[in-house]
A and B are shown apart, each in its own frame.
Chain A
Amino acid sequence: MTLLATGPYLTLIEADGVRHEKLRPVRLFPLTDPQHWVALVDENGREAVCIEDLSTLDASQRTLLDAALARRDFVPVIRRVIAIKRATEGHDWHVETDRGQTVFRIETDESIQSLGGTRLVIIDKAGTRYLIPDVASLDRESRRKLERYY
């Protein structure tokens, strides 16, 4: 099995020579297990291959896949909650993430989802996911602000 990068896409050549063009990687468990289970899916959503453990790939293939994933990945990890303000509909969050500071709006309390334990996912109005991997590891001030909403 060989992976090639063709423009924005990936191409897969299987051992028996079958080519799959225009593939993009999709994580099956983007929130609970991002490091495993990546499927390569074609334009029509058909799965060409599913890789359970990325570390089984050799280094060059891995880099290729990681790059393709990184291009699509956008789940900012919240490091600090600066302020949460009630808005007319829902509330506005001002946070500091691993990708810098941002402000987003969430619409209902249901947009804050707990994924078992202290892992939180926050889905904003636009559908962007923000992750708090461990609420307990946030600073005291942030936790206090968060407490009122979740």
Chain B
Amino acid sequence: MRIRRTSEGIRARKNPCPVQSSRGDSPRQTAFSQKSFSQIDFGLFRRSVSLLTLPSDLRDPAQTLLQHAESRLVPGERITARLSTDLNWSLHFHAGLIVLTNQRLLHVEEGAFHDWRLQNLDELLLEEMGPTAALHLMQGEKAVWHWRLTAGHLREVEAFIGRFKEQRGLTAEGGDLGEDDDEELFSPEAVAEPKFAGKPLLRLMGFSRPWLGLMLLGLALTVASTGASLLGPWLTMSLVDDVLIPLQSATHEINVQKVYQFAGGLLGAALLTWMLQWATTYVVARLAECVTSRMRRATYEHLQTLSLGYFSKKRTGDLISRIGNDTDDISLFISVNFIDFACDVLTIVFTAAVMFSINPVLALAALGPLPIVAWLVQWVRVRLRGGFAAASRAWSALNSVLTDTIPGVRVVKAFAQEQREIERFRQHDQQIFDTNDRVNRTWSFFEPTISFLTEFGLLVVWSVGAWAVAHEQTTVGVLTGFVLYVTKFYSRLDAMSRFVASAQRAAASAHRVFAILDVKPDMPSNKDTRKIGRLRGEIEFKDVRFRHGTRQIIRGLDLKIAPGEMIGLVGPSGAGKTTLINLVCRFFDVSEGSILVDGNDLREIDVIDYRRNLGLVLQEPYLFFGTIADNIAYGKPGATRAEIIAAARAARAHEFILKLADGYDSMVGERGQQLSGGERQRISIARALLVDPAILILDEATSSVDTETEREIQAALDHLVKGRTTIAIAHRLGTLRKADRLVVLENGVISETGTHDSLMKHSGTYARLHAAMVEVNHA
């Protein structure tokens, strides 16, 4: 079975296209040798260093194919567009490349090459089939070639077809496409280039660069305090040999003076250590706070630059958990564990050095168990790493449950699903329990083992020491000092093991935070965008197409809206009205075609600057936590109270605000005063009006107010839409009475446009929607 499938694959590869051309100009097929491929490979390596770091099987085959296509160009021929295909005719993965030049269309794949002269070709036809698509090359009614690719390439395919059409038209006239345009078309490939993130903990170092001074101070203090802490055993050694032993053997007089000296020295050493440690702890904790605060801010700032598309894919709870919990783990790591670690390493090195300088034999004996410890650390490290990453993920999941069900608590209660939500929470909590339990099991074995090894090390020192003392190779004092040093040494090892755990936890956390920071804004902002200032408000849609993933939502929409015109956008639910508005606001970029405002392509103007011209009332109004006045002034923080009140009056919000205990100072939003749906809507209308927008966008702005209030808002709006371009969506068609033009959107295309009266006469979709509405109202 397996063999047969393979042979099929090979057959398909050799003969990727079942279409036989009956005409004379069948594609010229040329096989090229494996050798030429490997030569190309070398050329590629020389050209692009970054590719060298890739494992060979990840290398982009399109590059190799492109090299081959380039080698086929005749003088005067220039590539104007290219498209990678990733399937063969029998839908096995197989890389191919279609290249459009100013003369020909070329097709390259491993072991095959075809080309067609442009003037012989008519059309490239795209056939979408869910997860895959086919591209048919047409010569008149006849298909001369087929390509297959996965739906992920659809955007590029559409762009390529556009280029093909243009180039074909130009070639017919003997012209070329401009060279500059190439870049834009190739950009999807540029974005797909894999990015190699450095080790997360090393990247953390990068974040602490602004506090280099603080870092060095922390380090210096650490060295000093570690050194000070080693004075104690040293003094003890002399105390035993020079005072206690002579005292016991009673061969000398009691040297009170010396006892005082040693006691004083020990006290001094302890005090010095205490002070230095205090300073170290504070300096390092501050450093940790600086670094994590910078990290939190950087992450949040980066989040704000990401487009709506990113947020619609992300769980809020997960983002909260990354910015909150994960940065906290990192802070703990830097402030507590990292400094401890530095201390530990220093202590270990110092003690080892001191021990060797005093008595190499004893030192060697004492450090015997060290290799076992090193191996143990490595073993634990590997096991913990996965465990902590899993724990972080489990936390995210738990946070997601909370951010999901707490705002939705009314739905939970209304459908009496408390028990189910409790169960959902319990499951996620169990997951945290399990992962932590797993970590603890590793852990609980590790710590006592280190303790045991400490005891063992001591035992070795005592026995070797006893032997040495007996053979008069060392003194009791030295042995005592040694025991103290060894204890210190191993207690540090023990602490170091704790470091292993927290380093792994911090690495897992840092990785999750950097994952946000590494997301490239998916709306490539053109570098040379223009500021446009105040718009007149002309909007033009030119063959606009848009897809969400593989689903086409807007399919070729042409519309020109004059400055100051009011457009009523109607159509069945899911027709793409909100999507169209998202495009006008440039929350998403069009997949194909363009939107022009005052003659400027939206992609070429500064987004922030452009959005200052917009007043937006969304289908689901959102209020931030804060006073009503703050919410109304959200788009214009410097607004005066008079302006705020005027906007609220215009939106018919003033009177209900007067009824609230704190008037305009009432807190609204998540944990503030509960407002009704209509009240929230009116506040968001006031918010849009306050910015005095050139383009006003109302998406079902009055859907949740009663008809009486709606009429009032309408009256106010009628007055306000004057002088500004307005796009209003409404299901209650009466709302759009005042619209200059009604546009009926159906299935992503405009099916009708005209005034209310002309559309009623036309008896199309609009008349049907209207009739249905009247029927409902009368029922």
Residues of A within 8 A of B (CB): 26-33, 36-37, 39, 41, 45-47, 50, 52, 110, 113, 115, 127, 129
- The yes or no answer to B671 lying at the interface (CB within 8 A) is yes
| Bound form: Cα–Cα A39–B658 in Å | 8
- The yes or no answer to B167 lying at the interface (CB within 8 A) is no
Q: Is the CB of A47 within 8 A of B654?
A: yes
Q: Is the CB of A29 within 8 A of B664?
A: yes
Residues of B within 8 A of A39 (CB): 658
Q: Given A39-B658, A41-B658, A29–B642 Cβ distance below 8 Å?
A: no
Q: Which listed residue, B629, B659, B661, B671, touches A29 by the CB 8 Å rule?
A: B629
Q: Is the CB of B655 within 8 A of A29?
A: no
* Nearest neighbor of A127 in chain B, beta-carbon distance: B661
Q: Which listed residue, A28, A36, A52, A115, touches B658 by the CB 8 Å rule?
A: A28
* Nearest neighbor of B663 in chain A, beta-carbon distance: A28
- The yes or no answer to B641 lying at the interface (CB within 8 A) is yes
23 residue pairs bridging A and B, Cβ less than 8 Å apart: A26-B663, A27-B663, A28-B645, A28-B657, A28-B664, A29-B641, A29-B664, A30-B662, A30-B665, A31-B662, A31-B665, A32-B629, A36-B641, A37-B641, A37-B645, A37-B664, A39-B658, A46-B655, A47-B655, A52-B642, A113-B667, A129-B661, A129-B662
Residues of A within 8 A of B654 (CB): 47
Question: Of residues 639 to 681 in B, which have CB atoms within 8 Å of A's CB atoms?
Answer: 641-642, 645, 654-655, 657-659, 661-665, 667, 671
- The yes or no answer to B627 lying at the interface (CB within 8 A) is yes
The list of the 5 closest CB pairs from A to B, nearest first, reads: A31-B665, A28-B663, A110-B671, A28-B664, A29-B664
Residues of A within 8 A of B659 (CB): 45
* Nearest neighbor of A34 in chain B, beta-carbon distance: B665
The proximity string for B residues 611-643 relative to A, scoring 1 for CB distances below 8 Å and 0 otherwise, is 000000000000000010100000000000110
| Bound form: Cα–Cα A150–B721 in Å | 45
Residues of A within 8 A of B665 (CB): 29-32, 115
| Bound form: Cα–Cα A47–B663 in Å | 13
Residues of A within 8 A of B671 (CB): 110
| Bound form: Cα–Cα A39–B657 in Å | 11
| Bound form: Cα–Cα A45–B663 in Å | 12
The proximity string for B residues 663-702 relative to A, scoring 1 for CB distances below 8 Å and 0 otherwise, is 1110100010000000000000000000000000000000
Residues of B within 8 A of A52 (CB): 642
Residues of B within 8 A of A31 (CB): 662, 665
Q: Is the CB of B642 within 8 A of A26?
A: no
Q: Given A36-B641, A37-B645, A115-B665, A26–B658 Cβ distance below 8 Å?
A: yes
Interface size class of B (residues with CB under 8 A): 10 to 19
| Bound form: Cα–Cα A26–B665 in Å | 12
Residues of A within 8 A of B667 (CB): 113
Q: Is the CB of A32 within 8 A of B658?
A: no
Q: Which listed residue, B658, B661, B662, touches A47 by the CB 8 Å rule?
A: B658
* Nearest neighbor of B629 in chain A, beta-carbon distance: A29
The proximity string for B residues 155-177 relative to A, scoring 1 for CB distances below 8 Å and 0 otherwise, is 00000000000000000000000
Residues of A within 8 A of B661 (CB): 127, 129
Q: Write the nearest CB–CB distance from A146 to chain B, whole angstroms.
A: 19
Q: Is the CB of A115 within 8 A of B642?
A: no
Q: Write the nearest CB–CB distance from B298 to chain A, whole angstroms.
A: 26
Knowing that A37-B645, A45-B659, A110-B671 touch, tell me 6 more A-B residue pairs with CB under 8 angstroms: A29-B663, A31-B665, A113-B667, A115-B627, A115-B665, A129-B662
Residues of B within 8 A of A27 (CB): 663
Q: Given A37-B641, A50-B645, A115-B627, A30–B655 Cβ distance below 8 Å?
A: no
| Bound form: Cα–Cα A9–B664 in Å | 23
Q: Write the nearest CB–CB distance from A49 to chain B, whole angstroms.
A: 12
Residues of B within 8 A of A33 (CB): 641
| Bound form: Cα–Cα A6–B658 in Å | 22
Residues of B within 8 A of A26 (CB): 658, 663
| Bound form: Cα–Cα A33–B207 in Å | 43
Q: Is the CB of A45 within 8 A of B627?
A: no
| Bound form: Cα–Cα A39–B641 in Å | 13
| Bound form: Cα–Cα A28–B645 in Å | 9
Q: Write the nearest CB–CB distance from B476 to chain A, whole angstroms.
A: 56
B657, B663, B671: residue with the most chain A Cβ atoms closer than 10 Å: B663
Residues of A within 8 A of B645 (CB): 28, 37, 50
| Bound form: Cα–Cα A115–B625 in Å | 12
Residues of B within 8 A of A129 (CB): 661-662
| Bound form: Cα–Cα A45–B657 in Å | 10
Q: Write the nearest CB–CB distance from B634 to chain A, whole angstroms.
A: 15
Residues of B within 8 A of A127 (CB): 661
* Nearest neighbor of B661 in chain A, beta-carbon distance: A127
Q: Is the CB of B627 within 8 A of A32?
A: yes
| Bound form: Cα–Cα A113–B641 in Å | 21
* Nearest neighbor of A27 in chain B, beta-carbon distance: B663
Q: Write the nearest CB–CB distance from A117 to chain B, whole angstroms.
A: 13
Q: Write the nearest CB–CB distance from A112 to chain B, whole angstroms.
A: 11
Residues of B within 8 A of A47 (CB): 654-655, 658
Residues of B within 8 A of A45 (CB): 655, 658-659
Q: Write the nearest CB–CB distance from A60 to chain B, whole angstroms.
A: 25
| Bound form: Cα–Cα A110–B671 in Å | 7
Residues of B within 8 A of A30 (CB): 662-663, 665
Residues of B within 8 A of A36 (CB): 641
Q: Write the nearest CB–CB distance from B357 to chain A, whole angstroms.
A: 53
| Bound form: Cα–Cα A67–B641 in Å | 24
Residues of B within 8 A of A50 (CB): 645
Q: Write the nearest CB–CB distance from B676 to chain A, whole angstroms.
A: 15
| Bound form: Cα–Cα A28–B660 in Å | 9
